Amino acid sequence: MGGGASCEKKAPEEALAAAKEMLGEKLVKFAGDGKTEEVSIDDALKDKKAVALYFSAHWCPPCRGFTPKLAEAYTNHLKDKGLEVIFISSDRDEEGFMEYFKEMPWLALPFAERSMKGSISSKFKVRGIPTLIILDPNDGTVITEDGRMACMRDPTGEKFPWKPASFKEVMAGGLMKGEETVGPEAVEGKYIGLYFSAHWCGPCRQFTPELAKWYAAVKKEVGDKFEIVFCSGDRDPGSFKGYYEEQQSKGGDWLALPFEKKDDLDGLYKVSGIPTFMIVDSEGKVVQKGGRALVNQHLAMPSIPTGDFPWLPSALQELDDPEEQGINDKPTMCLMLESVPIANQSEIMEKVKPIAEKWAATGEVQFLVARQNNSAAATIRAVCGLESVEKVCKEERSSVSSAKGAPKVIRSMSVDTPWLILLDCPDKGGYYLGKMAKEMDGSGVEAMLEGWKSKTLERKQLK
């Protein structure tokens, strides 16, 4: 079983061999009286339509809240429909594991298999708990990484095993344009902005009018070549209708998925939080994951145009939403240019762009550039021990000297020489600090990357 899709479907014996390699020969079930009983992997997966890996722990309050709901759905509906659940424990000791496992009607990876647990978590890039990943036991592919949401939305398993519909299938079912229903021709041949949002979400309510302003500017430039489709996260039809009307009143005269189809694209695009805004082509292929960055950049700097339609990915992306932009999945070079005048920012980026393109082509590193002192840039600075731009600029202007004793953060030598931060989250949260060369010609970036690759840089650890 693997974390990605496979072109060729594995034979049952191949899939079983892959499962054994990942989970071992034996699983356990709770046998009462504080004891477990072994179950062979062959018996565990026999005739199953889906397997759920449940990453959870006794000490985690959200896990304790979700486990009874999953157990009820499993016992009453999902087990009979062909689901097997395997508990992958993050408990701190075997006593905690057993105390928690006795509440579960399914199987578990033996607690003693700590190294196996670590490799499984790494394989599926589990970043938090509870996480429920649904796998196809016939070929080992991931059906959905958000099994928790799938189960909560469909506890009786009407849509089990929750295989996401294709983009074309979702669009073919019709869209809303105000109170009217329109067909797939409304988006045929167009680039589409998918807006995942909900009425109950405060950040969504704040972002919606900003998106509407950007949408109006874009439509003025490109006309019918672009459209937005609202994908609601609202909990009932009334909230959905009211929020969609609110969007239109603020200038968001765009399309929407009908309420009954509102969740159909979440799994396909692995939407884990809202607001999320991404650009896809007419076939549904993602061309720009960080759509919010396009909007925020334009509104924060009106002198910068809405961008080069259709906003195909650049090797040098604006830093906006680090997690959405894949900072946890790939080593990321961050150019911290917040304190540099806009005109100079453009000059630096032009010189760094060929370097970014060269490294991006290797697939080893991605590049993000912080041009604004926004929350994303401030967070990156904070976790790497760098003072905020605002504080550094204020202190340098007033020539305030640092306090005596060991500094709690690393100070900038000059706001004219921006920091470089190479985040290597896949390497267990490693990071590296450097500076742009004084010439601002990109040589400092190149030198830092070469040092990282040759392992001559000082590695630091995210706390």
Question: What pLDDT does residue 412 have?
Answer: 40
Question: What pLDDT does residue 191 have?
Answer: 96
Residue 201 reports pLDDT greater than 90: yes
Q: In what order do the strands lie in the sheet with 460-461?
A: 316-318, 366-370, 332-336, 419-424, 430-435, 460-461
Buried/exposed code over 431-442 (b: 16+ C-beta within 10 A; e: otherwise): bbbbbbbeebeb
Question: What pLDDT does residue 297 have?
Answer: 75
Question: What pLDDT does residue 329 have?
Answer: 81
Locate 252 and state its tokens: 């968001």
Residues 205 and 284 in one domain: yes
Question: What pLDDT does residue 401 have?
Answer: 42
Mean pLDDT of 273-279: 92
pLDDT grade for 311, boundaries at 50, 70 and 90: confident
Residues 23 and 94 in one domain: yes
- Bigger pLDDT: 32 or 16? 32
Pick the most confident of 178-192, 288-302, 338-352, 412-426.
Answer: 178-192
* E strand map for 161-205: 175-177, 180-182, 191-197
For 21, other C-beta atoms within 10 Å of its C-beta total: 11
Please tell me whether residue 161 adopts helix, strand or coil conformation. coil
Which amino acid makes up residue 237?
P
CATH of the domain at 75: 3.40.30.10
| pLDDT, tens digit (0-9, with 9 covering 90-100), for 70-96 | 999 999 999 999 999 999 999 999 999
Residues 250 and 203 in one domain: yes
Question: What pLDDT does residue 456 have?
Answer: 95
Residues 356 and 415 in one domain: yes
Locate 49 and state its tokens: 């339509």
Position 305 in a domain: no
pLDDT grade for 128, boundaries at 50, 70 and 90: confident
Question: What pLDDT does residue 3 have?
Answer: 40
Q: Which domain holds residue 346?
A: 314-461
Least confidently predicted of 143-152, 341-350, 395-404, 440-449: 395-404
Q: What is the DSSP letter of 410?
A: B
Question: What pLDDT does residue 396 have?
Answer: 46
Residues 32 and 101 in one domain: yes
Question: What pLDDT does residue 6 have?
Answer: 31
Question: What pLDDT does residue 342 have?
Answer: 82
The domain boundary, picked from 153, 187, 211, lies at: 153
- Please answer whether residues 290 and 262 qualify as being in contact, where contact means their C-beta atoms are separated by less than 8 angstroms: no
pLDDT grade for 325, boundaries at 50, 70 and 90: confident
Q: What is the mean pLDDT of the chain?
A: 86
CA distance 257 to 231: 6
Least confidently predicted of 120-134, 201-215, 312-326: 312-326
Question: What pLDDT does residue 268 have?
Answer: 85
- Please answer whether residues 85 and 106 qualify as being in contact, where contact means their C-beta atoms are separated by less than 8 angstroms: yes
Question: What pLDDT does residue 306 have?
Answer: 66
Residues 403 and 289 in one domain: no
| pLDDT, tens digit (0-9, with 9 covering 90-100), for 224-255 | 999 999 999 999 999 999 999 999 999 999 99
Q: What is the DSSP letter of 70?
A: H
pLDDT grade for 358, boundaries at 50, 70 and 90: very high
pTM comes to 0.63
The domain boundary, picked from 153, 188, 204, lies at: 153
Q: In the chain, how long is the greatest CA-to-CA distance? A: 72
Pairing mode, strands 366-370 and 316-318:
parallel
| pLDDT, tens digit (0-9, with 9 covering 90-100), for 37-57 | 999 998 998 889 999 999 999
- Dihedral of CA atoms 322, 163, 173, 228 in degrees, nearest 10, equals 0
The domain boundary, picked from 104, 130, 153, lies at: 153
CA distance 380 to 370: 10
Question: What pLDDT does residue 411 have?
Answer: 42
pLDDT grade for 413, boundaries at 50, 70 and 90: very low
Residue 304 reports pLDDT greater than 70: no
> What contacts 306, CB < 8 A, 6 or more positions away?
214, 217, 218, 221, 294, 298
CA distance 164 to 121: 23
Looking at the 3D structure of the chain, how many domains does it have? 3
Give the position of tokens 């305030």: 400
Q: How many helices (H) and strands (E) does the chain have?
A: 14, 20
Question: What pLDDT does residue 13 have?
Answer: 55
Residues 226 and 127 in one domain: no
Question: What pLDDT does residue 391 have?
Answer: 54
Residues 58 and 139 in one domain: yes
Position 219 in a domain: yes
Mean pLDDT of 316-327: 80
Least confidently predicted of 236-240, 241-245, 280-284, 337-341: 337-341
Position 236 in a domain: yes
CA distance 215 to 254: 9
- Dihedral of CA atoms 358, 359, 363, 369 in degrees, nearest 10, equals -110
